[in-house]
Amino acid sequence: MKRTGLRVRGVDLRFGEFVAEALG
């Protein structure tokens, strides 16, 4: 699962931010 980027403008970007906050 390597989707920590802006694949979809508003979708993956938000998910990436959420994951970043969850990881630390």
Q: What angle do CA 20, 1, 6 make, to 5 degrees?
A: 55
DSSP state at residue 6: -
pLDDT 10s digits, 1-24? 555 555 666 666 677 777 778 887
pTM above 0.75, yes or no: no
Is the Cβ–Cβ distance between 14 and 4 less than 8 Å?
no
Instruction: Report the distance separating Cα 21 and Cα 18, nearest Å.
Output: 5
Q: What is the pLDDT of residue 4?
A: 58
Alpha helices in the chain (DSSP H): 12-23
Instruction: Report the distance separating Cα 8 and Cα 5, nearest Å.
Output: 8
